[in-house]
Amino acid sequence: MSFLGFWRKGMLSLAAAVVFYFACHAQDPSKKADAGGGDAVQPAKNDIPALVAEFSATATADDRRRKIADELLGKGAEGALALEKAAQSLIKKRTAAYLPEYDKALKALCGKSLKSYSMVQSEVKSLQLKMKNLRAEKNLTKEMVVEQGDPAMEKLAKLLYVSPAEVLSSNKDLSDARSGITGLSTILSHCREITTKKPPAKKGDDVPDTRSPTLDEELARLELLASVKIMANRMALKKDFSVLDSNEKITPKIDSYEAIGILDLNRMRIFVGSPVLSIDTKLCDAGRGHSNDMRTKNFFEHESPVPGKKTPWDRAKKAGTTANGENIAYGQQTPEEVNMSWFHSPGHHKNMLNPEFGVMGLGRSYTHWTQMFRDAGK
């Protein structure tokens, strides 16, 4: 695929994801809060339209915009609802402007900092063989992964990949634009604290954490996706590129942290020469269920005490699919953190980078995580 085709296809994906984010966060009119209390003194509200107009104006500085937001939030539900609508509109406009600028900056930095793949292919293949031999070690240890695997992965990253952090650190205007968007997202959250009635949290709730993604998480996922796809494109990995596209269509069906964790693992697999994994949402369901069982029933094992869910294969079958491998972890706060924990653990390392696997699911319940894998073609 040509670079022009890649960027056009990427922009459609990015635009669709932004629409999905706002769909997840649309305000339900039935959940509006009461505008006031009996004898409470209400601030004047006749200046709300003027404040909203100034808040929305392109020329308004971010510092002034935050002060206006505070004024509107101080006017109770009416001000908060007006501010919420204005913030949503402004986020959409700024995000629509930010994403193509991010893509241009990524493309430019790749051209500037990376050699063509043909020039580094021999070194890449040598490093990938080193990683393959490391996985084949019968008595693989964490120390061996750290001493041999970490340096090899760092070299592969320098040869093949430009990270979102590198893109943002190289372009202050872009970084400032992103900060402005996430700042508006914070304002939006403050609005919803006033406009949305939430049921009190229940201790010991027996369900996974199924919150919607924050805007910062969604931007981070889109930025990571752009970096991984341009790497696959530069390496002429057409099948992997196609799988990444297919996975993106499935992403709205799973938790945002699960989606980032799968994409981050696929980045690592491209580094080592293993094929990108397709997402099976049923494996995500099975993994999420096991993570939640471990959290709520206070155990940490591949073998579950829950009837009908004893083994990973039982759990996959119950979810309507099949599996050939499983990794579990707990305590990690982010998907990147849990992937690195598995990478440094010998058995998990071999599972997550196994080139025979072609399908995966990742399921989490707060800080309990379960990866499930299936062989390609099964």
| End-to-end CA separation in angstroms for the chain | 28
pLDDT at 202 over 60: no
pLDDT class of 133 with cuts at 50, 70, 90: very high
Longest dimension (CA), the chain: 77
Q: Are 371 and 352 in contact (CB under 8 A)?
A: yes
Mean pLDDT of 132-149: 97
Radius of gyration of the chain (CA): 23
Comparing 8-22, 69-83, 285-299, 321-335, the range with the smallest average pLDDT is 8-22
Burial status of residue 198 (CB atoms within 10 A of its CB: 0-12, 13-18, 19 or more): exposed
341-351, pLDDT tens digit by residue? Answer: 999 999 999 99
Q: 């063509």: which residue's tokens?
A: 116
pLDDT at residue number 195: 87
Q: Are 369 and 291 in contact (CB under 8 A)?
A: yes
pLDDT at 331 over 60: yes
Amino acid at 182: T
**What does pTM read for this prediction?**
0.83
226-261, pLDDT tens digit by residue? Answer: 999 999 999 999 999 999 999 999 998 999 899 999
Q: Does residue 349 sit in helix, strand or coil?
A: helix
Token pair, residue 351, equals 């599972």
Task: Give start and end residues of each alpha helix (H) in 198-280.
Answer: 215-234, 238-250, 256-272
Q: Are 18 and 223 in contact (CB under 8 A)?
A: no
Token pair, residue 274, equals 């293993």
The helix (run of H) or strand (run of E) holding residue 330 is: strand 325-330
The helix (run of H) or strand (run of E) holding residue 316 is: helix 312-318
pLDDT class of 6 with cuts at 50, 70, 90: very low
Tell me how far apart the alpha carbons of residues 124 and 120 are, in angstroms, rounded to a whole number.
Answer: 6
| Size of the chain in residues | 378
pLDDT at residue number 33: 38
The helix (run of H) or strand (run of E) holding residue 279 is: strand 278-279
Token pair, residue 295, equals 């959290």
Residue 327, strand partner residues:
371
Mean pLDDT of 150-175: 97
Sign, CA dihedral 271-272-273-279, equals negative
Tell me how far apart the alpha carbons of residues 164 and 230 are, in angstroms, rounded to a whole number.
Answer: 12
The pLDDT mean for the chain works out to 88
Q: Are 320 and 367 in contact (CB under 8 A)?
A: no
Amino acid at 345: S
pLDDT at residue number 206: 61
pLDDT at 1 over 90: no
Q: Are 195 and 230 in contact (CB under 8 A)?
A: no
Nearest CA among 161, 279, 278, 155 for reference residue 223:
161
